[in-house]
Amino acid sequence: MRDQTRSPAFDASQGRSDILGAEFLGDGTNFALFSDHATKVELCLFDDDGKEELHRLTLPDMEGGIWFGYLPDIMPGQVYGYRVHGPYEPENGHRFNANKLLLDPYARELRGEIIWDDALHGYTIGEDDLSFDTRDSAPFMPKGVVVDSRFDWDTERALRTPWADTVIYEAHVKGLTQQHPDVPDDLRGTFRGLGTEPVISHLQKIGVTTIELLPIHAFANDRYLVEKDLSNYWGYSTLSFFAPHAPYLKTGQIREVKEAIRRFHKAGIEVILDVVFNHTCEGNELGQTLSFRGIDNASYYLLADDKRHSFDTTGTGNTLNVAHPMVLRMVMDSLRYWVQVMHVDGFRFDLASTLGRETEGFERDGSFFNAIRQDPILSGVKLIAEPWDIGDGGYQVGGYRWPFREWNDKFRDDTRAFWRRDPGMLGAICERLSGSPVQFNHSHRPATSSVNFVAAHDGFTLWDTVSYNDKHNDANGEDGRDGHDHNISDNLGAEGPSDDAGIDTARLRRVRGMLATMFLSQGVPMILAGDEMGNSQNGNNNAYCQDNAISWLDWDGARPDICDAVAALTAFRTETGLARTRFAHSPEEAQPGQPVCLWLHPRGDRMQDDDWSEGELRALGLQLQPEGGTEVLIVINAGDDGEFVLPEGDWTLRIDTARDDVACDEAVSGTLPIGWQSVTALIRAA
């Protein structure tokens, strides 16, 4: 073991500027950090606990703004940080302050956590941000840890589940496992708990192919939340783009993430990550100096015209400057690291419109998007955009190029409104069942471009959508002002839980109807974890700060009637090959080999122009005729009990959400009874 009392010395002959971060090379570690405006960079080595700074060494070389040096005998487990020297000129965008210990943006593993203290700020709290604070921030900072990335993956190969076969499950590492009765107590809330058999078997039962994890990158629990005894539960406040969030690791070691991913892959389930490259946890110019701000504020962040202030398109105080080539490289390096080293299967990009912002605003062919499209590694994994931010022109649903897919909030809103029996929704729900072609059928994009959802982490859960008319966010400590009011919800007769059997039945019917609409539509279905079992957040539609039973899944209160319906719907979707990569067209417009769709009135013929404006019509049918294979008829009815005249031929009823047992296998012809607030699906063999 190396004598830590002896100051190590750099080996100038082995230093490398081409690999950023702390890279263990077998007999030592190469350290490299980008800062275009720094005058000196110091590497600080700490004891194993990260409490005592043992050595402070100046990185000996710099090329192209990359400061670097190779230290022999520095092995995995070494704890480190940086101090970066340069001008403290906020009015020119520079906020260097070597009194502040800085986290390596490329750190793969962290030791310690943020301890909120005024010393974490580059300026003196109580004065303006032009002042200069001389206190050492190291005692309050997490540090990076040198790691060895080797891991036995058992020669596994990437799953590459086709988009047409994909069913996404949006989940939170802790929320999914914290109250699971079959996950050992000491593993709950961690990747080791996530990768247990009870969790995986549940996902297999309901037909999930891909789990999408809310942010697992190391993030900060914002100071104002900690002071209110709350926390940044969702994790959209990134501290590091390479290191996993330490509380999700039982031992603190990144191999736990790899072990969980390996278990999911062996079960045939992909793992994709929700990533936040649009901003960091450092906030605006009045925020703390933890990493990027102190390394090179003018390079890593977008700044206002006066350079002193941050330019914010995210609502979080700052915007990462991905148009800068070295910042773009960091983002690309992070993505490739998670694919090649950690074996994840793709990414969902939070506020992705920010990543496309260049000098003239959002650019669908911006540097970030083009870099990914040409990348031989990243262009082959699953890529999903949250296609909006809060800046001008930020709403870009349908505005991205292949290979990106997009969250489609139009699907959520129109589906909720249709099932709430809002007037004039027939045309809109047909668009959503068809894969939203107005938004996505262009630029050679496939019919799997729309990620369809009826609930996500941000907003009401699906059960709360049928249980509350208004948000109930008092627990967030903002007097109910936070969270949006556009819930498109209906409590069906009682605000919150109800013992009324009629209300409960109506809620169940509507939830099944919305789920069936999602799973039977063209595109890619995404279910919010817990919606398959009626999970509630007690009407909180902004539970970002609730690391407690409000957000954790209530496994003991799970409703098997919903879970069984989801299993039946995913099985039907798979059995019939319902999802297509090509959009369906009317018989008059379809080209040879294209799937054909017919919109049918309950009376049995095709919908006519006047039918679309029929105010009381709440039911219609979609007949899908593929080129060969199984013909499918989907009948949705948001109204009362009724009848639907079937097209000629022998049909088999396979799905009926009005029945206790949703899965069916019943020959039918002629006129089909359709229950109130229900969806039926039938097949006719070619």
Q: Which residues are catalytic?
A: 350, 386
* Rg, Å, the chain Cα set: 27
* Per-position b or e across 582-607, b if 16+ CB within 10 A of its CB: bbbbeeeebeeeebbbbbbbbeeeeb
Nearest to 85 by CA among 33, 47, 48: 33
- Residue in the block written with tokens 């789920």: 515
Is the CB of residue 546 less than 8 Å from the CB of residue 538? Answer: no
Please state, in angstroms and rounded to a whole number, the distance separating the CA atoms of residues 554 and 472.
Answer: 18
* CA gap 352, 395 in Å, rounded: 10
Which residues are CB-neighbours of 466 under 8 A, at least 6 positions away? 489, 490, 491, 492, 506, 507, 510, 511
Distance separating alpha carbons of residues 52 and 48, to the nearest angstrom:
9
Closest CA to 383 of 449, 292, 312, 455: 449
| Class of residue 501 by CB neighbours under 10 A (exposed 0-12, middle 13-18, buried 19+) | exposed
Rounded to the nearest 10°, the torsion over CA 374, 380, 382, 384 is 10
**382-415 b/e with 16+ CB inside 10 Å = b?**
bbbbbbbbebeebebbbbbbebbbbbbbbbbbbb
Structure tokens at 312: 């914010």
Provide φ and ψ at 371, rounded to 5°: -65, -40
- Give the integer Cα–Cα distance in Å for 416 and 516: 12
**Which residues in 285-324 are b (16+ Cβ under 10 Å) and which e?**
bebbbbbbbbbbbbbbbbbeeeebbbbbbbebbbbbbbbb
Angle at 330 between CA 329 and CA 332, to 5 degrees: 65
- Position 451: which residue type? V
CA distance 532 to 454: 12
